[in-house]
């Protein structure tokens, strides 16, 4: 049986565990940095407080985190007959570039999930947006269906940016497993303190525990801090519904990695600590982008997408350093200062990690791709020991819950 066949045959039921609703944190602690931190290096788990993390990281480490910012992606339109249609913005179509689409001042198109879609018979929907300067009417017109989503074209007048309208009328899309509506506090609680690149529809939640003070103490202890971007899609909410993971389709997500970070990674002088599974997936995608450029230096953006199963079919014909150099050379040829692309990477048991030496993450849903990633990093069934320890010791789970520090 090949590596790919073994990975595709993994049963998701083997990554299940009992999670009572009362163990799911509905809100973060008042001081986010005082949450519990479970540390595990393959021996016995130990309990700390998150604000101890600067002293617990490997000496001289490079802390790499996702600077994406959650947008107010959920919009509620009212039909002329009074019913509500919920539109959940997933990713921009036109303009396809995130920065450009937020700057548009009259129209843009997004791929969206549509709640109560069957009740949207025909014609555009309208929504009045209250701004300090007055009321602007936002129109939404449904287009082509793509899987379980639709192309939605938004239009408006008045010269206001799309970012302004979303900020005024949209809602932060908190995870459905919290079993509650969005509250005003989520506007702050569901953002990391270092978020500044708009685009995600879910937070990279491992970073929610960091405060400016904790980051400053990382600086004082010689921990380097570096940023990358992965805009988290709605797929992060979706548990694996198939019996084996080979029948589960990973979602494509936008990534952006600065050239300077690529150069530092290629030098290999610091242990790499990834904050969150999104940072892990972005970093580990880089090797396969480098392989694609090694095989075809003139490859375009679509040809450079890291597909779901690529790690399990690609022979390690070049080193990690060489792979990173191929990306750097690609940027230099094109005059870019950052790599922009997409990844569908699935990290599951059988995956070989190439860049990440340690990771900070939260406790994830049963039968999720995020739990598969944790299992792959820890090896074997060690994740079960860790999660059993957390359940036995009063840890809080999921997005607003406690944190883990895993080191090899």
Q: What are the residue ranges spanned by the domains of the chain? A: 3-69+188-407, 74-170
Over range 386-401, report the average pLDDT.
97
Over range 57-65, report the average pLDDT.
96
Q: Does domain 3-69+188-407 have CATH number 3.40.1780.10?
A: yes
> According to the model, what pLDDT value does residue 109 have?
97
**How many angstroms separate the CA atoms of 393 and 387, rounded?**
10
Percentage of residues in the chain with pLDDT exceeding 70?
Answer: 99
Q: How many CB atoms lie within 10 A of CB 21?
A: 9
* 330-364 residue pLDDT tens: 999 999 999 999 999 999 999 999 999 999 999 99
Structure tokens at 289: 């982008």
Which 3-state string (H, E, C) describes the chain? Answer: CCHHHHHHCCEHHHHCCCCCHHHECCCCCCCHHHCEEEEECCCCCEEEEHHHHHHHCCCCCEEEEECEEECCCEEEEECCCCCEEEEEEEEEEECCCHHHHHHCCCEEEEEEEEECHHHCCCCCEEEEEEECCEEEEEEEEEEEEECCEEEEEEECCCCCCHHHHHHHHCECCCCHHHCCCCCCCHHHHCCCCCCCEEEECCCCHHHHHCCHHHHHHHHHCCCEEEEEEECCCHHHHCCCCCCEHHHCCCCCEEEEEEHHHHHHHHHCCCCEEEECHHHHHHHHHHHHHHHHHHHCCCCCCHHHCECCCHHHCCCCCCCHHHHHHHHHHHHHHHCCCEEEEEECCCCCCCCCCCCCCEEEEECCCCCCHHHHHHHHHHCCCHHHHHHHHHHHCCCCECCCCCEEEEEC
* 121-143 residue pLDDT tens: 888 999 999 999 899 999 999 99
> According to the model, what pLDDT value does residue 78 have?
84
Region of poorest pLDDT, from 37-41, 98-102, 297-301 = 297-301
125-131/134-146 β-pairing = antiparallel
pTM of the predicted structure, to 2 decimals: 0.93
> According to the model, what pLDDT value does residue 290 have?
97
Residue with tokens 């998701």: 12
> According to the model, what pLDDT value does residue 237 have?
62
**How many angstroms separate the CA atoms of 334 and 367, rounded?**
41
Q: How many CB atoms lie within 10 A of CB 66?
A: 30
pLDDT reading at 118 higher than 90 = no
pLDDT reading at 170 higher than 80 = yes
* 264-291 residue pLDDT tens: 999 999 999 999 999 999 999 999 999 9
User: Which of 77-91, 111-125, 203-217 is predicted most confidently?
Assistant: 203-217
> According to the model, what pLDDT value does residue 252 have?
86
């Amino acid at each position: 049986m090949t590596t790919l066949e073994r990975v595709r045959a993994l049963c998701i039921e083997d990554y299940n565990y009992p999670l009572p609703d009362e163990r799911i944190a509905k809100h973060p602690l008042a001081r986010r940095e005082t949450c519990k931190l479970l540390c595990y290096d393959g021996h016995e788990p130990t309990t700390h407080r998150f604000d101890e993390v600067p002293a617990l990281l490997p000496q001289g480490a490079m802390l790499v985190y996702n600077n994406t910012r959650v947008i107010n992606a959920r919009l509620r339109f009212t039909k002329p007959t009074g019913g509500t249609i919920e539109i959940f913005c997933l990713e921009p179509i036109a303009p396809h570039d995130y920065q450009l689409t937020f700057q548009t001042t009259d129209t843009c198109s997004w791929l969206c999930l549509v709640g109560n879609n069957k009740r949207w018979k025909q014609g555009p929907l309208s929504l009045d947006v209250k701004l300090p300067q007055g009321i602007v009417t936002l129109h939404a017109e449904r287009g082509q269906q793509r899987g379980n989503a639709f192309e939605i074209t938004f239009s408006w007048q008045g010269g206001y940016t799309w970012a302004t309208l979303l900020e005024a009328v949209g809602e932060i899309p908190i995870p459905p497993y919290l079993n509650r509506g969005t509250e005003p506090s989520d506007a702050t609680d569901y953002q990391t303190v270092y978020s500044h690149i708009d685009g995600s529809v879910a937070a990279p939640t491992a970073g929610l525990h960091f405060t400016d003070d904790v980051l400053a103490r990382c600086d004082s202890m010689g921990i380097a801090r570096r940023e990358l971007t992965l805009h988290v899609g709605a797929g992060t909410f979706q548990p694996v519904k198939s019996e084996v993971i080979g029948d589960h389709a990973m979602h494509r997500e936008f990534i952006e990695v600065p050239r300077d970070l690529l150069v530092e990674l290629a030098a290999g002088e610091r242990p790499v600590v990834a904050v969150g599974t999104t940072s892990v997936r972005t970093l580990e995608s880089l090797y396969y982008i480098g392989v694609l450029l090694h095989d075809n230096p003139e490859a375009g953006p679509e040809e450079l997408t890291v597909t779901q199963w690529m790690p399990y079919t690609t022979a390690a014909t070049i080193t990690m350093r060489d792979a990173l150099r191929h990306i750097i050379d690609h940027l230099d040829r094109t005059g870019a200062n950052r790599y922009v692309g997409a990844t569908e990477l699935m990290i599951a048991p059988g995956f070989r990690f190439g860049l990440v030496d340690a990771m900070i993450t939260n406790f994830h849903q049963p039968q999720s791709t995020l739990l598969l990633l944790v299992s792959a990093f820890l090896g074997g069934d060690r994740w079960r020991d860790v999660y059993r320890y957390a359940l036995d010791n009063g840890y809080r789970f999921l997005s607003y819950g406690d944190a883990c520090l895993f080191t090899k």
